[in-house]
Amino acid sequence: MVIKRLKDLREDNDLSQRELCEMIKYKQQTYSYYETGNRTLPYDLLIKLANFYSTSTDYILGITNEKKPYPRCSEKK
């Protein structure tokens, strides 16, 4: 599911892997391993991609089909 979501999100934004990686400051060759399923997506990149695409990590991981991110919680003092 992660593999399909990564590719779909990138293509829905009309980006090549190279363009995406330039924007998020990531190595294209390494990123391609995640999109093909040859490596497990690290948490830091998962969060970076969720923020970049304005979606939730749960959507990328296939836990939900809702693309809209959850509302951010405010810190209480």
- What is the predicted pLDDT for the residue at 52? 96
* Structural domains of the chain ordered from first start: 2-61 (1.10.260.40)
pTM of the model: 0.84
Neighbours of 33 (CB within 10 A): 13
d(CA 77, CA 61): 32
> Which whole number is the average pLDDT over 7-34?
95
d(CA 59, CA 49): 11
Neighbours of 60 (CB within 10 A): 23
**Radius of gyration over every alpha carbon of the chain, rounded to an integer in angstroms:** 13
Is the predicted pLDDT of residue 77 greater than 60, yes or no?
no
Is the predicted pLDDT of residue 10 greater than 60, yes or no?
yes
- Angstrom CA distances, 42 to 14, 31, 75, 76, stand at 23, 10, 26, 29
